[in-house]
Amino acid sequence: MRVLMVAPPGAGKGTQGALIAAHFGIPHIATGELLRDHVARRTALGLAVQEYLDRGELVPDQVVLDMVREAVVAARAAGGGYVLDGVPRNMRQARALYLIAVELGMTADVALHLDAGDAEVTRRLLARAALEHRSDDTAEVIAQRLALYHEVTAPILSWYRDRGILVSVDAMRPVRQVSSEILGALTRLLPFLDREPGRAGDPAELTALGEAFGATDAAAGTRG
């Protein structure tokens, strides 16, 4: 089982990603955790990341993708499954990630979109900020993050939809209800994923993907 997580901030991507990984016994590749781990271990990538952070700059896409490649190689050695969250954040990352996955024979089975409205995720993020005493998650900052998400994510969703692997789930419900729907659908999908790594999906598999998540019009295409 190989799953990409796509969601606005506050939609529960990290929580649901960890639950999926634990349920199927596959690695949860979270880019934020990868960055912190490399910095803590002072790896070559970690030292490069620290330099950008020290200068107050964003970590370049290529550095993040190099870390993801390393983690995907490890996931392949561990059995071939993964849950990836934190990338892609833009179309450039999405295309680069796809090329890496094709090269490694580790293309995604499902691009799982957690759909949540701005008002709800803002409420969640403000509540979390208050609980964790975080001063960086203000209403203004959250609004900026959501605006950026909407600007760069719409093309990604369309791209995965065209590839036939996008599934959207209503994430504005309690965590357990959302996870139950996701895990049940992914479990029903498993029998259709018994194939060689990287092999393109066929119409029967893609129809099964839609049926597993209760859809009636799954798009035909190839895995992304």
- The amino acid occupying position 124 is R
Window from 39-48, 132-141, 201-210 with minimum mean pLDDT: 201-210
Q: What is the mean pLDDT of residues 45-69?
A: 86
Does residue 36 form part of some domain?
A: no
3-state helix, strand, coil in the chain (%, to 5): 60, 10, 30
Does residue 220 form part of some domain?
A: no
Burial 1-40 (b: 16+ CB within 10 A, else e): bbbbbbbbbbbbbbebbebbbeebebbbbbbeebbeebbe
Predicted pLDDT of residue 222: 39
Parent domain of 20 = 2-27+81-212
Does residue 179 form part of some domain?
A: yes
Rounded to 10 deg, the angle between the 44-54 and 61-78 helix axes is 150
Does residue 34 form part of some domain?
A: no
Predicted pLDDT of residue 108: 94
Predicted pLDDT of residue 171: 94
Say if residue 130 is exposed, middle or buried (CB neighbours under 10 Å; 0-12, 13-18, 19+).
exposed
Can you tell me the distance from the alpha carbon of 77 to that of 57, in angstroms, rounded to the nearest whole number? 33
Q: The domain spanning residue 13 has which CATH number?
A: 3.40.50.300
The total number of structural domains in the chain stands at 1
Q: What is the mean pLDDT of residues 57-75?
A: 90
User: Contact 59/116 with Cβ under 8 angstroms?
Assistant: no
Q: What is the mean pLDDT of residues 144-165?
A: 90
Whether residue 206 has pLDDT greater than 50: no
Q: What angle do CA 209, 8, 205 make, to 5 degrees?
A: 10
Q: What is the mean pLDDT of residues 159-182?
A: 92
Does residue 193 form part of some domain?
A: yes
Whether residue 217 has pLDDT greater than 90: no
Q: What is the mean pLDDT of residues 22-50?
A: 91
Does residue 132 form part of some domain?
A: yes
Q: What is the mean pLDDT of residues 152-181?
A: 91
Q: What is the mean pLDDT of residues 39-64?
A: 86
Q: Which of 112, 76, 150 minimizes the C-alpha distance to 3?
A: 112
Can you tell me the distance from the alpha carbon of 86 to that of 156, in angstroms, rounded to the nearest whole number? 13
Whether residue 148 has pLDDT greater than 60: yes
Can you tell me the distance from the alpha carbon of 49 to that of 44, in angstroms, rounded to the nearest whole number? 9
Which residues neighbour 83 within 8 Å (Cβ) at sequence distance 6 or greater? 3, 5, 17, 18, 20, 21, 26, 27, 28, 29
Q: DSSP 3-state assignment of 187?
A: helix
Does residue 76 form part of some domain?
A: no
Does residue 43 form part of some domain?
A: no
53 falls in which pLDDT band (50, 70, 90)? Answer: confident
- Average pLDDT, rounded, for the chain: 85
